[in-house]
Amino acid sequence: MQKRKFLQLIGSSAALLPLLGMNPQERERTSAKLLPNAIKAGDVVGLISPSAATSERIQLQFAIEALEALGFRVKQGDNLANRRGHLAGTDQERASDLNAMFADPEVKAVICIRGGSGAARILPLIDYDLIRKNPKPLLGYSDITALHHAIYAKTGLITFHGPNGTGSWNSFNVTQFNKLFFEREQILYENERVEEDDLVIKKNRIQTIYPGTASGELFGGNLTVLTALAGSPYIADFTDKILFLEDIGEEPYRIDRMMSTLMLMGALDKIKGFVFGQCTDCDPSSGYGNLTLDQIFDDYILPLKIPAYRGAMIGHIPRQFILPMGAQVTLDADQGTIQLEERVFH
């Protein structure tokens, strides 16, 4: 009897070893999914600049006016207009604005004014316990990918990959914002159909890489920023994710190198579905030769035999999807759609 109890004790201890062996950062990455609190017209939103500086004051005014037109009152971060080199202030100042907005009970959502470069520098300075205790929507894209991944990895909070404050607030983006944030609709993300004087529709066309449907948590963002987080504690596990990617100003050989990074770190073997949005200004320069994007995706994605398509309205384009990162979705690679399958607000 004593021997049986001893063996049971050993077994239960062994089961705990993986957790006991984790450092505190690794334990944080096991956080369950966390929904942000819902927002409504009339709420106060915090406007911050966690990455690059905004060069012209009129851009700050544009962002404030756009958010007010959406129905919000705007609270500016204390360091919103700061500048240090290309950055919007020191790392401590930019992190302080982010932490302050999550700590402020008056502020109901946090909007990033722009991307650029520099968000990764502040990741160790973010108060993730504070964010976990005050779950609010965070909106932005491009360099803000670093914040999306760090917050998701550390807290499980669903954040939103979509227009920055100085981005384009055209009718498509505004309608989608209202449906997602105010009406809390489970959106079907499908490219706009653009008909022109041509026998064949050419704009906003999707290309199926591998057919089929798959369900999983939506996960991704800017390819350059995402791969720069490889090996850090600020990126979550890729297992069973629907991976979406986009980029700008990267030649095909660089896209190839970054896809190679995802492959070598084992990320691509774990995902259940793949979506590539737009690669804006990614044409090859003159030289000996280049792989095409078609060839790159054929090399890295096609052998996985998972549902995959490219051409989604994701990326550095005026009319873009607002995607809840960490939410359960179903991807249809034949139709080129992403269906949101769960509520994303408390």
DSSP string over 264-288: HTT-TTT-SEEEEEEEET-PPPSSS
- What's the predicted TM-score (pTM) here? 0.90
In the chain, which residues fall in CATH 3.50.30.60? 188-340
Rg (C-alpha) for the chain, rounded Å, is 21
CA distances from 88 to 116, 138, 204, 226, 316 (A): 10, 18, 34, 21, 21
Please give the backbone phi and psi of residue 276, each rounded to the nearest 5 degrees, phi first.
-110, 130
Alpha-carbon span 307 to 155, nearest angstrom: 29
Beta strands 107-112; 159-161: pairing state: unpaired
Classify 58 as helix, strand or coil.
Answer: helix
Which pair of structure tokens corresponds to residue 345?
């607000």
In the chain, which residues fall in CATH 3.40.50.10740? 44-169
State the catalytic residue, choosing from 49, 51, 96, 142.
Answer: 142
pLDDT at 25: 44
Query: 227-231 long-range contacts, Cβ below 8 Å, gap at least 24?
Result: 227/258, 227/261, 227/262, 228/120, 228/146, 229/120, 229/146, 229/149, 229/150, 230/261, 230/265, 231/265
pLDDT at 23: 45
Question: Could you tell me the mean pLDDT of each successive run of 10 residues in the chain, 346 residues long?
Answer: 43 40 43 92 98 93 97 97 96 98 98 97 98 98 98 98 97 98 98 89 93 98 98 96 97 96 98 97 80 96 98 97 98 98 96
316 belongs to the catalytic site: yes
346 belongs to the catalytic site: no
246 belongs to the catalytic site: yes
- Looking at domain 44-169, what is its CATH homologous superfamily? Murein tetrapeptidase LD-carboxypeptidase, N-terminal domain (3.40.50.10740)
Q: Is 183 exposed, middle or buried (0-12, 13-18, 19+ CB in 10 A)?
A: exposed
Angle between the N-to-C axes of helices 293-300 and 252-264, in degrees from 0 to 180, rounded to the nearest 10: 10
Tell how far CA 141 is from the center of its chain.
6
Alpha-carbon span 61 to 173, nearest angstrom: 19
pLDDT at 31: 58
Class of the 188-340 domain? alpha beta
Beta strands 328-332; 213-222: pairing state: antiparallel
